[in-house]
Amino acid sequence: NNNKNNNKNNNKNNNKNNNGVNLKNLEIFDTTLRDGEQTPEVSFPIKAKLEIASKLDELGVNTIEAGFPITSNGEFEAVKKIKQLDLNATICGLSRCSNKDIDAVIDCDLDRIHLFIATSPLHREYKLKKSKEQILNKISESIIYAKEHGLSVEFSAEDATRTELDYLIRVYKEAITSKVDYIDIPDTVGILTPKKMENLIKDLKSGLETNKAINNSSTLTNQINIKSNMQMPVLSVHCHNDFGLAVANSLSAFEQGVSQIHCTVNGIGERAGNTDLAEFVSSLKFLCGIEPETLTIKTELLSDISKLVAHYTNIPIAPNKPLVGRNAFAHESGIHTHGVIANALTYEPISPFDVGNKRRLVLGKHAGAHSIKLKLQEMGLNVGKNLSTEQFEEIVDKIKALGDKGKLVLDADLRAIIKDVTS
């Protein structure tokens, strides 16, 4: 392997970005088994949930959102069994802000509860039919109830990114005064861009870290002032991929000091899915050169877990899927394969082995003499030794003729061509 991965570069171990934001800490919150399972037509049998949870733990995620225990008896049993696996990861369960839901999480004996309630005007009016004040009350009651039962609490304001900023700050302040441990910002319908994410995190941080008045007179009567000695919870984001920006938005949030990122394997999840775990972690590590001290993902296991999830979801991995797709490190054209044979970095940004994938040199109409020679060598045939130059040229012509018909030349085809030419 001559691919020495010179992209793990420059600012490795540089834990501060240009704005002085600390990038030392990063926790990967995996929601493959919860939001991922909400992918249309996906339902994991218990066996699949247990196997995926074990592999996620081996991969090194910090938290596994095992499911939504109140949903069904099967879901409750699966989540409970995942907790009984006694994995290294924190095991979390989703819950609405209702005691019935919270009790189901308590009964599964989980480490963390992920409480959520929608906060945007659309959801308040059409779904919850609740006032802003009623929602604030639900948040504090639920967090306090869950904490009384010994749970670590993560709180999400569903549809946060379409919520009025002043109200969103009040919502999160309510959660903080109720002693929440994590506050998560869901981009529920994936409408942010990296720049909008950056601005939102900056606004939220300054709104939460200071006790400055929220300048909307109608809300002033219900100001919540955070006591100066109060512990700031861990900030988290949950991005959806409706515009294909979930990974970019998550990177942007991380660069603003958000230290927990929600991800799923293969980016599965509601509609267009969530932040793809392999793409997020690899971009951070190999492109940004940032390896937070707490990042524990073994990137060389990414391709295997991607295959496992594809198997249980029945959603095949697109050949051109970044990093884990079968074409992610495949080369067909003569120019590219020639380059890759000389030094793989010419046409590969990182080594396929870094993410557990394989390099493939494909023979087709764009194939060049170099890759064909290499393939023949792998089969024990060397031009000038046991193969004449004329025979080699005939083999090249036949490969190109097949390629012109739109076919790929697989090993069996090549063996047939060799037999034809040499007999």
Q: Which residues contribute to the site for Zn ion (CB under 5 A)?
A: 35
Decide which of ligand KIV, Zn ion, none touches 156; Cβ closer than 5 to 8 Å per partner kind: ligand KIV
User: Is the CB of 191 or the CB of 315 nearer to ligand KIV?
Assistant: 191
Burial class (CB in 10 A: 0-12, 13-18, 19+), 400: middle
Decide which of Zn ion, ligand KIV, none touches 158; Cβ closer than 5 to 8 Å per partner kind: ligand KIV
By beta carbon distance, the residue nearest Zn ion is 35
Residue 67 within binding range of ligand KIV, rule CB under 6 A: no
Span 243-272, contacts to ligand KIV by CB under 6 A: none
Contact residue for ligand KIV among 49, 123, 138, 238 (CB under 6 A): 238
List the end-to-end C-alpha distance of the chain, in Å, as a whole number. Answer: 35
Q: Which residues pair with 27 in a beta bridge?
A: 260
Q: Do 280 and 251 contact (CB within 8 A), yes or no?
A: yes
- For 225, which DSSP code? P
Contact residue for ligand KIV among 163, 188, 252, 337 (CB under 6 A): 188
Q: How many residues bind ligand KIV (CB under 6 A)?
A: 8
User: Is the CB of 36 or the CB of 233 nearer to Zn ion?
Assistant: 36
Span 116-175, contacts to ligand KIV by CB under 6 A: 116, 156, 158
Burial class (CB in 10 A: 0-12, 13-18, 19+), 364: middle
Span 327-366, contacts to ligand KIV by CB under 6 A: none
- Residue 253 in tokens: 């949030």
User: Is the CB of 238 or the CB of 285 nearer to Zn ion?
Assistant: 238
User: Is the CB of 184 or the CB of 255 nearer to ligand KIV?
Assistant: 184
Pattern 99-118, ligand KIV, x by CB under 6 A: -----------------x--
User: How far apart are CB 188 and Zn ion at their closest, in Å?
Assistant: 6
Largest Cα separation within the chain, whole Å, is 93
Distances 318 to 242, 255, 266, 338 between C-alpha atoms, Å? 17, 29, 10, 26
User: Is the CB of 192 or the CB of 328 nearer to Zn ion?
Assistant: 192
Distances 243 to 4, 211, 348 between C-alpha atoms, Å? 34, 35, 26
Give the closest residue to 61 by CA, choosing from 100, 30, 19, 36: 30
Q: Do 350 and 383 contact (CB within 8 A), yes or no?
A: no
- CB count within 10 Å of CB 170 equals 25
Decide which of Zn ion, ligand KIV, none touches 116; Cβ closer than 5 to 8 Å per partner kind: ligand KIV
User: How far apart are CB 245 and Zn ion at their closest, in Å?
Assistant: 15
Binding site for ligand KIV (CB under 6 A): 35, 116, 156, 158, 186, 188, 238, 240
